[in-house]
Homo-oligomer: A and B are copies of this chain.
Amino acid sequence: MTRYESVAAVLRERIEHGLYRPGDRLPSIRAVCQEMDVGISTAQEAYRQLMDAALIESRPKSGYFVLPGYAPSVLPSASRPAQRPLDVSQWDQVLELIATRRDDDRLQLGRGVPNLECATLKPLSKILGGLHRRTELNGFNYDTLIGSPELRQQVAKLAVASNCLLHPDDILITTGCQEALAIALRILTQPGDVVAVDSPSFYGTLQILKANGLKALEIPTDPQTGISLEALELALEQWPIRAIQITPTFNNPLGYTLPAERKRALVQLAQRFDVAIIEDDIYGDLAYAQPRPPTVKSFDDDGRVLLCSGFSKTLGPGFRVGWLAPGRYRDQALHMKYVSTGASATLPQRAVAEFIAKGHFDRHLRAVIRQYQRQRDVMIGWVQRYFPPGTGISYPQGGFLLWVELPAAVDCVRLNDRLAEHRLHVAPGALFSASGKFRQCLRLNYAFTLTPDIEDAVRRVGALAGAMVEEALQPLE
């Protein structure tokens, strides 16, 4: 975090805790410089950031004021899903989100795609362009089934930041994190089995359950502390759960990070009931503060955690380079990988390995993390400004996804129907549940370069949602 970001964070916290209230005048630039021992330009930059985030305004010749309309942001509510295993549906909605035609000109505000326009990605293009000339690499041939040794070595090195000591041979390269998740679920379950999931839960995983005839048991989840271990324990006592599938770090979509101590407790719980944990860490490297949070896998001392990750959220999903650390399930995972797709594509693996080895990945991560953190605040500001009162907003410490809980009158699938006329689309909350929860929720992406067009799009979403709230208040004729 840069100096001005630290200053802005302190001021933001004071506003959010009500120390300065809507309409209040903030300390002068000079006062901030004195209190926090920083230069004038740093203090000015901090105030500019708070203005970008729509928390404060500057009044000529008067100073800085908390926006009169500002209300401290409220988190979404904790989920209370139905306490029994359910079949997953919602495929049509997922298809609408992900299988859009290339000539579809809708602006997708909710898809989980990172910013692909960063200058720090350019060396990757250059590496890709150079690989084809190095015929000794033989990029046309199969790589080894387990994955390129160079890439596995780099992944093992990166995993150290999450407190994981993995040997390169503990890692299996997959066709995106999606294949890692699919392999993990396929080797652990049979059709009809029950899998415990956080709730809301990534729709890609829920759809794996659907495809394999598995039932989802959605566990209540808090937007600050994550999956309820108490509810999970009760569920483990009550149901024959074959696996626990969670995204415990920068959760997609709810944004929380399970505290380290609760990650440890989760492993102990899984040990007590002898059940495997499938950990989705795809957003874990995008932590706004260093060191990044540890993985659940880092507390795993008997190989029961299958850690799934990849480079789709850091470098780009088009490469389809993911990985799985399958723990004690290595042999089964290797077999399932073989039958599912064979060895992973050769050239993307080599390109990613070289990008990391040359230090480009670290540089890119640092740049993109700063951008996402800044843009989180901007996007939260827009939602506060344009969405109807009573809207809850997540406050993620990493990644680039925001979870927005609208007033109960708003059905986000219907909202999407209205947005279609404006060539806009959000990820409706219903995607993230097997039990039809979260109808009034939606997911927004703030990885885009946040142009006035995006602000205008968010404004329209808010206005249409607001209209739905008002319609619900009209007396029936």
Contacts and interface: CB of A to CB of B under 8 A. Distances in A.
Contacts of A138: 116, 318
Interface in A176-219: 176, 178-179, 182, 186, 190-191, 204, 207-208, 210-213
Given A99-B144, A99-B145, A340-B178, A91 B345 contact: no
A91 B145 CA distance: 13
Interface stretch (A77-85, A330-338, A453-461): A330-338
A344 interface: yes
A358 interface: no
Given A345-B319, A345-B320, A182 B132 contact: no
A316 interface: yes
Interface in A310-340: 315-320, 334-336, 338-340
A72 interface: no
Interface stretch (A123-131, A393-401, A462-470): A123-131
Contact of A132 (B129, B149, B207): B129
A342 interface: yes
A120 to B, nearest CB: 12
Contacts of A179: 340-342
B146 A99 contact: yes
A347 interface: yes
A347 B316 contact: no
A27 to B, nearest CB: 44
Given A99-B145, A100-B144, A121-B140, A178 B341 contact: yes
Number of copies: 2
Contacts of A101: 144
Interface residues of A, number: 66
A40 B452 CA distance: 78
A422 to B, nearest CB: 22
A128 B207 contact: no
A159 to B, nearest CB: 22
A111 to B, nearest CB: 9
B100 A339 contact: no
A141 B98 CA distance: 12
A252 to B, nearest CB: 14
Given A175-B320, A176-B342, A347-B318, A335 B211 contact: yes
A283 to B, nearest CB: 16
Contacts of A94: 338
Interface string A104-133: 000000000100100001001110111111
A323 to B, nearest CB: 13
A116 B141 contact: yes
A141 B338 CA distance: 25
Contact of A175 (B190, B212, B341): B341
B335 A91 contact: yes
A182 B208 CA distance: 15
Contact of A211 (B141, B142, B208, B339): B339
A281 interface: no
Contacts of A316: 140-141
Interface string A326-368: 0000000011101111111111100000000000000000000
18 contacts: A94-B338, A95-B145, A95-B334, A99-B144, A99-B338, A125-B132, A125-B135, A129-B129, A186-B211, A204-B342, A211-B336, A212-B339, A317-B343, A318-B343, A319-B346, A319-B347, A320-B342, A348-B348
